[in-house]
Amino acid sequence: MSAKRHTVIDSPYGPLTLVAADGLLSGLYMTDQRHRPADETFGEPDPRPFGQVREELTAYFAGELTEFTVPLHLAGTPFQRTVWEELRQIPYGETRSYGDLAGRLGRPGASRAVGLANGKNPVGIIVPCHRVIGSTGGLTGYGGGIGRKQQLLAFESRGAVPGESTLF
């Protein structure tokens, strides 16, 4: 079993809980996030393992960083980890559909499985699951909520200030 630590930081999208396993980022969770593990699984409070994560998130929210380099420890099935790695290939400011991702994985009929793996992404924002949309271009589910997904996409397309509501 890995040694876990966590801390909570502020962001334009509300508090973010960062979790590290053996010193590597293994979780980034928003408040009220679907599939958020129980807080007691996050380990002891300790801000020390998160220096690079904080720096990169600060630069991202300032519009100065478009690609994260922080090392990750992603725990999931082999298929989930493959999907999450493919998510990291979606360029900043762009989107892909679940079907696009399934095709890129050589499994064109697996868009629903891709969607399920996307929804279980343990490191939101850094592993950019918010960049995945429906086949018709519409926003679909997001563990952090559709409003946050819309805000993140608007921010990345330079259409909004971080955290600014774009909902009517």
Is 136's pLDDT higher than 90? no
Structural domain span for residue 111: 78-156
Query: How do strand 96-97 and strand 132-133 relate by DSSP bridges?
Result: parallel
Instruction: Judge if 90 and 146 occupy the same domain.
Output: yes
Residue among 20, 44, 13 nearest 122 (CA): 20
Residue with tokens 């926003």: 139
What's the pLDDT tens digit per position in 47-67? Answer: 999 999 999 999 999 999 999
Neighbours of 136 (CB within 10 A): 7
Instruction: Judge if 90 and 145 occupy the same domain.
Output: yes
Q: Does a structural domain hold residue 104?
A: yes
CATH number at residue 40: 3.30.160.70
How far is it, in rounded angstroms, from Cα 80 to Cα 82?
5
DSSP 132: E
Counting the structural domains of the chain, the total is: 2
Read off the pTM: 0.88
Which candidate in 30, 101, 129, 132 is catalytic? Answer: 129
Q: Catalytic site residue 3?
A: no
Mean pLDDT of the region 117-132:
93
Which pLDDT value is given to residue 91?
Answer: 94
How far is it, in rounded angstroms, from Cα 101 to Cα 105?
6
